[in-house]
Chain A
Amino acid sequence: MSHPTAGPTRRAFRDLPFELRLEARMETPRWLSPALTVGAIVVALLISAVILAVVGADPIRVYVHIVRSSLGSVGVISDTLVKATPLILTGLACALAFRMRLWNIGAEGQLLLGAWAASAVVLVPLVPEGTPGIVILPIMGVAGFLGGAAWGLVPGVLRARFGVNEIIATLMLNSMAFFWIQYWVFGPWTEGGFQLTKQFPVETWLPRLSDFAETYPVLGGLTIHAGFLLALAAAGVVWFIVERSAWGYEIRLIGDNQRAARYAGIRITRNVILVFAVSGGLAGLAGMSEVAGVVHRLQDNFSPGYGYTAIIVAYLAKFHPLRVVPVAILFGALILAGREIQPSGVPAMIQGTILFCLIASEVFLRYRVSVVRRETRPVGPT
């Protein structure tokens, strides 16, 4: 008998003969959100092209160069996926926490602690030297997860028990993690006074495609490692948790309305701590994957801020675990292109523009926009 109430009409640009009308959408078609994401990226590339043209570069050549240097050959695609791997894992870490409106911006610190814990397995050593990879790699993975989880637990417990703002806490913990790594690579674990540890033994390296080059010569020089598969598997698991599990339902309910969640009998405190731990653990896995798959040692500055880029990745993926993967690959490509393009700020500018356009495009998700001619008087019988 009654129909849903529609939101108010909003208008902009009061003095033009035409006006834009924004009317709240009753229903959002399924295709709209992905279509808007693609549209926003296209618009961002156009805006970036204008900026590039203004500063005197040929935008087409720049874009062609970016594509060529990140996706132009099997070799660089492999490199792009290597860069995407930690972004997928940290992006998932952020997406999971953000789903519950827990603003964990500490993925960087959790990544560092995960890398440290995985390194400790090799360097302390926690397992005897010469342990085969099939045994030691899973142990390093678990250690990485636990290291990140422990670093995530700190802000989780502070938030759940004492209401401490998790943004501030995680940000501070990032700095602490940075200096924690500095201490170990300059001090106890230093290799001859340099800010890095000795190289890990080969059996602790995640297998790479190039490892199989002897049998299949095509694979020569391909740096992509098993960490990428781990990241894809993690995306699947997080997707299942968020979208299909009872726990994920609780996360979504708490994220949307904490009071409703409490009313439904969900324990908020426990979930805050748990989500923070799993989020930190995912970021910790990224750290493990980097030390075991890419650098093969612990050193300072091995992460160019993956944990911060992850915030953008999670946001662009709309906190959806499966969408984190393509977005992370896009950003991996931009990071890779950053090494090729001078000045290297260009990819950063493109990243920023994409984020800006994406956030701006959200208005279309909530409102139907139409351009109407402004009337001087409403029509009607007089």
Chain B
Amino acid sequence: MRGPTQPTAPTTPAVGGGGSPPAVELRGIVKRFPGVVANDGVDFDLRAGEVHALLGENGAGKSTLMNILDGLYQPDAGEIRVDGRPVTFRSPRDAIAAGLGMVHQHFTLVASQTVTENILIGLDRPRFRLDLRRFDDEVAALAERHGLRVDPRAKVWQLSVGEQQRVEILKVLYRGARVLIMDEPTAVLAPLEIEDLFATLRSMTAEGRSIVFISHKLGEVLAIADRITVMRRGRVTAAGIPGGSVDRGELATLMVGREVLESIERVPVSPGRTILALEGVEADGDKGIQALRGVSIEVRAGEIVGIAAVAGNGQSELAEVITGLRSCRGRVFVDGEDVANRSVGRTIDRGVAHVPEDRTGVGTAPNLSLVDNLIMKRYRAAPIARGWSIDMGAARGVAARLKDGYDIAAPTVDTQARLLSGGNLQRLILAREIESQPQLLVAVQPTRGLDVGAIESAHRLLLERRAAGAAILLISEDLDEVLALSDRVAVMYEGRIVGRFEAVEADVARIGLLMTGGTGEEAQSAGPTEGDAR
């Protein structure tokens, strides 16, 4: 295929109306999977030069629809038109040839190769001799034009998640895509990176490119979309409504099918004794760089302490140290006992539950059943354990109860965990961890990637635990979530706690600055704070 096609000036009038056909038009798309109709007669149209958000809960059929548009799936019925001409895509290659490119939620990059090499993969250029320098320059120029800062010669494994996403976008742009399909692009990004992404998207629409923006985050959709289409259970519930004409509440209702209480009521709980106490904890990260630098923090019974931090500032390591998964220096008291560098089993026995950041890699065993996954933390204890043996009847009973109680959508308790959608997998983990009646719950990114309804139920569960007297350490990159749930907030930056706030009087602007390495003094309103910069 060609190199970066230079769009000869913005020929296409932005947001084409009138006579010109839409850039992409989907009519009556039907796609069935065993047991479900993922798309049930879906219509969708994308005008040239617009950002069209496709909003819906997990499993609403957004990704299926776009995978059809990208040629990954073939529709059972329906028609696709590009620039008014009917087309059939047998593979993503056909879609690319028609000027459509998709940036997937899960990246498809080769970690050991450079950015440029990744962009060239699958193209028939360079032919024989790998004269990469020329292509490095091309990639750099293309990146420059769209504000996609990334070094063409860097190996992919050296890049942050945000940079890897830029490589994916460059890949699609390099192939000359005029229509970009972005599948939940913000799910993996930090707040500042999201701003950069939005700037890139605007620069692309200014050139006449069109963007489908798949998301279930209302705020982002309202911030970026020219028009919004909402899907629910495989059908369109609102088609192409202009972004300025709706508010969050209306969108949430369209998406979930009922009214959603986005702000949760927190009953006042007077905190009890100290459950978790860290004293001067230091630990190294995976790459041998010090990740925690003298962290001291306390969480009392019946309170939620939130950690606000941008990804990669030590909060993941903090959770691992507390749960026994990572060795450290310093002291980690759980209910008075120093569990630092003791086994994971020891912390579990002390009543520490852990909702891990990586649901598929750490939190579940993909090929084992729901039963096996739900008894992970309790197979050693009665009634499931009976001497050396496991009482399968009791195990299935527990699993069935949790599956119903926590609304885990799966055919049976024997279903393999890998077949669950993201929201259901998280419900499984929450069910398992919360049902262990923990003294201390360490919840890392408990709602990342979940839809509004699932977030609401996860938040409710955390608050119920708090009311029941558990100490909760909430680690999240979603600042709104941290502020909504926490009693106290600690800000982490480069392995240190750089600020502590009572949640009620926390100043969002100041927290934002501290999270990104500022001193917090620049913020206009200097509220009552005790910035603890060690």
A-side residues, CB < 8 A to B, are 1-6, 8-9, 11, 14, 23, 25-27, 240, 244-249, 252-253, 256-257, 259-267, 368, 375-382
Contact = CB atoms under 8 A, between A and B. Distances in A.
A27 B59 contact: no
15 contacts: A2-B423, A4-B410, A4-B415, A6-B34, A244-B392, A246-B390, A253-B376, A261-B365, A263-B363, A264-B348, A265-B347, A265-B377, A380-B27, A380-B79, A382-B79
B419 A26 contact: yes
A267 B361 CA distance: 17
Q: Mostly helix, strand, loop or mixed at chain B's interface?
A: loop
Contacts of B368: 252-253, 256
A5 B421 contact: yes
A245 B376 contact: no
B411 A26 contact: yes
Given A2-B59, A8-B72, A378-B88, A246 B415 contact: no
B135 interface: no
A371 to B, nearest CB: 14
B88 A263 contact: no
A257 to B, nearest CB: 4
A244 B389 contact: yes
B186 interface: no
Contacts of B365: 252-253, 256-257, 260-261
B12 to A, nearest CB: 26
B280 to A, nearest CB: 26
Nearest to A254: B365
A264 B325 contact: no
B453 interface: yes
Interface string B355-387: 010100111111110001001110110000100
B80 interface: yes
B330 interface: no
B530 to A, nearest CB: 35
A375 B79 CA distance: 13
Interface residues of B, number: 69
A69 B86 CA distance: 66
B35 interface: yes
Nearest to B256: A1
List the 9 shortest-distance A-B pairs measured between CB atoms, nearest first: A2-B59, A265-B345, A6-B33, A380-B79, A256-B365, A257-B365, A265-B344, A3-B36, A264-B376
Given A253-B372, A253-B376, A2 B344 contact: no
A4 B420 contact: yes
B38 interface: yes
Nearest to B451: A2
Contact of A381 (B28, B88, B364, B366): B28
Contacts of B392: 244
B60 interface: yes
Contacts of A5: 59, 63, 419, 421
Given A262-B325, A380-B78, A256 B34 contact: no
Contacts of A246: 379-380, 385, 388-390
Contact of B77 (A23, A25, A257, A379): A379
A337 to B, nearest CB: 36
A2 B424 contact: yes
A2 B58 contact: yes
Contacts of B380: 246
Contacts of A1: 57, 59, 233, 256, 409, 453
B409 A263 contact: no
A264 B419 contact: no
A2 B368 CA distance: 21
A267 B324 CA distance: 12
Given A246-B389, A378-B79, A257 B366 contact: yes
B379 A249 contact: yes
A27 B414 CA distance: 9
A4 B325 contact: no
A377 B28 CA distance: 14
Contacts of A375: 88
Nearest to B29: A380
A379 B75 CA distance: 9
B73 A9 contact: yes
B343 interface: yes
B76 to A, nearest CB: 8
Given A2-B423, A4-B421, A378-B80, A247 B388 contact: yes
A197 B406 CA distance: 67
Contacts of B235: none
Nearest to A264: B376
B60 A252 contact: no
A378 B118 CA distance: 33
A25 B34 contact: yes
Contacts of B419: 4-5, 26-27
Given A1-B409, A246-B380, A23 B390 contact: no
B409 A381 contact: no
Contacts of B256: 1
Given A5-B421, A264-B377, A379-B77, 19 more contacts: A1-B57, A2-B409, A3-B38, A3-B421, A4-B409, A4-B415, A5-B59, A6-B33, A6-B38, A8-B72, A11-B90, A26-B411, A27-B415, A244-B392, A245-B389, A253-B376, A256-B368, A263-B344, A380-B78
B354 interface: yes
Given A5-B421, A378-B74, A382-B79, A259 B57 contact: no
Contacts of B67: 8
B433 to A, nearest CB: 11
A3 B409 contact: yes
A240 B387 CA distance: 13
A4 B370 CA distance: 13
Contacts of B346: 265
Interface in B38-94: 38, 57-60, 63, 67, 72-75, 77-80, 86, 88, 90
A245 B58 CA distance: 37
Contacts of B59: 1-5
Contacts of B389: 240, 244-246
Contacts of A380: 27-28, 77-79
Contacts of A267: 343, 345
A314 B128 CA distance: 46
A262 B420 contact: no
B411 A27 contact: yes
Nearest to A265: B345
Contacts of B75: 378
Nearest to A250: B379
A118 B253 CA distance: 74
Contacts of A378: 74-75, 77-80, 88
Contacts of B379: 246, 249
A14 B90 CA distance: 10
A16 to B, nearest CB: 13
A257 B418 CA distance: 12
Interface string B440-467: 0000000000010100000000000000
A381 B27 contact: yes
Contact of B34 (A26, A240, A244): A26
A4 B424 contact: yes
Given A246-B388, A257-B361, A263 B343 contact: no
Interface in B261-282: none
A2 B421 contact: yes
B457 to A, nearest CB: 10
Interface in B500-521: none
B362 A259 contact: yes
Given A1-B453, A377-B86, A260 B376 contact: yes
Contacts of B33: 3, 6, 23, 26
Contact of B364 (A244, A257, A377): A257
A172 B505 CA distance: 67
Contacts of A257: 361-362, 364-366
A253 B60 CA distance: 32
Nearest to B79: A380
Contact of A263 (B35, B78, B354, B424): B354
Contacts of A265: 324, 343-348, 377
